[in-house]
Structure 1
């Protein structure tokens, strides 16, 4: 439980008493207190990324923001934040080469990164699509690109950590990870399994959690920590592929509608994981509603705030790590 638990007990819909990202910053009393530190955020041209940036900008931290469309990102953010400490970096997360180029651009300008927020994502692509690297597009965008990006930025994250402010990696997952875990090793791209848009999304979101858990296991003792999270149900461009049937079903569920958040509230758990004192010096947990998630039933329900039996699995987390190293072309010795 956290100090925000009570605000989430009886939600009343977007704009209710649940905290916003800016409130998390205020409650931690860090406005203008992270000057000299560096944060990297992926997916900053729309959706939750905008609100994450708005909140982080208040802290005085220097920001490196990635987006596929830099012009769109700049136009979206210029009237919302002071851009004097913002660097925009082009990155197409369907291309490993683009990820490498983006990481190299950032490392050419800074040797330290205090916070990495893997925010970018896509959801429920209707038909099986492969990237030019041969990867299923949701697994590539949501997991493998972020895995490679972290691997390239890891030295800067380790270089930045101090006893007073240990480095953090925050990875956006989703409640939809509850639908299923990973496909068998070797079938992440649905070569031997019938493609389903929600199962592919669930797999990629489970991979996000496993990546965070394994980062904590491997690097926590060195002052580099990671958490994963479900931001809540927020109407953003991420939902553009949701079928009319699913959308209508959700809109008819009055209890579910009350749990919806606006983007400012949807970014709160991300900021909580990134800067809140509750997570100084620790990680390896899946968060919801600005607190650690509790165990729920293995019911496959895509909108629950609880975790399921496959949310934590050290054996599969380690297997996915090894497989991901091979897929993105990183050596185990660098880890």
Structure 2
């Protein structure tokens, strides 16, 4: 029997219909893949003059994002902490001379700076697309090498610094027909927690793995919204997104109980996608002509999402009540600059 959601549908766009609850049926169903979006956009082999940067490519949906992006003909710089693992995951993509693997440990900001310098050098000063994909999830309470709460530091601050060090390239590379884009991979998990500007590192207590994850994923949204506010009129746009749910042993290593529980939940299993489908919303944000010239959007299901209906569960489509908050976005931007030591 088809499972139909009892709440308003929150997605709009050419792929929205495929995400309706009466149409979803688990990994490999009719929901679009990243490669299908590249083909639908007519972009196979056409972006040979463009440069993209993708973080977190050694596991999960990262390699699928790279495969789809590389099929456009663009030059693609990709980052990983474990280079051998990334080489294995990317395989023959690294033989194409279009995909360039760089080292970056996002728990150590010195490596972010070194990676940004390498992108600047090897790209010839050009960068059109940045997809901030790397993340950790539901970790024990730990700190990065720079002393920041691990999930906030890895998921938000490292990407903030990477963007900040390369924003001049993104601005300079933007053209009237192809505006530059920054795509932040957030999560429906942003609905676990807003950003607490007075307790970013949980120095005042209250740490939970999911709460810290939620805060970091809300921070991803805030960063994208503020990019749009500051630079949208200059041809640089920011997007945030939820890729949906998928099985990723590396990302989910601290929440295996929840993963096992999901396997016994019919609604959850219908919502889950495979890696090729999970990467679709990142590719949509990076390439879709439907979004050209307009950012500050939260994307889901390779569609534009609206606010999540009240009393919905964590996998219902849409963004939380706190996902768009100009005052907090502006404050987090300034706090983040101080934390990573820019300006």
Q: TM-score range by the shorter chain?
A: over 0.9
- Which is worse superposed, 52-61 or 299-308? 299-308
In structure 1, what is the Cα distance between the partners aligned to 2:106 and 2:231? 25
Question: What aligned pairs does 1:314-333 form with structure 2 within 5 A after superposition?
Answer: 314-331=326-343
Corresponding residue of 1:5: 16
| Residue of 216, 221, 229 corresponding to 1:204 | 216
Whether the 8 Å CA contact 2:94–2:100 is kept in 1: the answer is: no
Structure 1 position 114 matched with structure 2 position 124: no
Corresponding residue of 2:291: 279
Structure 1 position 71, deviation (Å) = 2.0
Whether the 8 Å CA contact 2:186–2:241 is kept in 1: the answer is: yes
In the alignment, structure 2 segments of 5+ residues that lack a partner are 1-11
In structure 1, what is the Cα distance between the partners aligned to 2:93 and 2:165? 30
In structure 2, what is the Cα distance between the partners aligned to 1:150 and 1:286? 19
Scaled by the length of structure 2, the TM-score of the pair is 0.93
Structure 1 position 76 matched with structure 2 position 89: yes
Cα distance per residue 1:283-332 (max 9 Å; x no partner): 1011100111122245484323211210110000001001000000011x
CA separation of 1:317 and 1:291: change in aligned 2, threshold 3 A: same
| Residue of 245, 248, 252 corresponding to 1:239 | 252
CA separation of 1:58 and 1:216: change in aligned 2, threshold 3 A: same
Give secondary structure in 1 for the equivalent of 2:271: coil
Query: Pairwise CA RMSD of aligned residues?
Result: 1.3
| Residue of 201, 216, 219 corresponding to 1:189 | 201
Corresponding residue of 1:14: 27
Q: How many residues align?
A: 328
Structure 1 position 214 matched with structure 2 position 226: yes
Cα distance per residue 1:223-244 (max 9 Å; x no partner): 0001000000010121111141
Question: What aligned pairs does 1:234-313 form with structure 2 within 5 A after superposition?
Answer: 234-236=246-248, 237-244=250-257, 246-297=258-309, 299=311, 301-313=313-325
- Which is worse superposed, 66-75 or 162-171? 66-75
Whether the 8 Å CA contact 2:93–2:99 is kept in 1: the answer is: no
In structure 2, what is the Cα distance between the partners aligned to 1:58 and 1:91? 24
Whether the 8 Å CA contact 2:16–2:302 is kept in 1: the answer is: yes
Structure 1 position 80, deviation (Å) = 5.0
Whether the 8 Å CA contact 2:80–2:101 is kept in 1: the answer is: yes
In structure 2, what is the Cα distance between the partners aligned to 1:113 and 1:176? 29
- Which is worse superposed, 101-110 or 218-227? 101-110
Cα distance per residue 1:157-192 (max 9 Å; x no partner): 011000010000000000010111011x24101000
In the alignment, structure 1 segments of 5+ residues that lack a partner are none
CA separation of 1:310 and 1:226: change in aligned 2, threshold 3 A: same
| Residue of 49, 61, 86 corresponding to 1:48 | 61
In structure 2, what is the Cα distance between the partners aligned to 1:209 and 1:299? 21
In structure 2, what is the Cα distance between the partners aligned to 1:112 and 1:318? 27
Whether the 8 Å CA contact 2:64–2:279 is kept in 1: the answer is: yes
CA separation of 1:186 and 1:132: change in aligned 2, threshold 3 A: farther
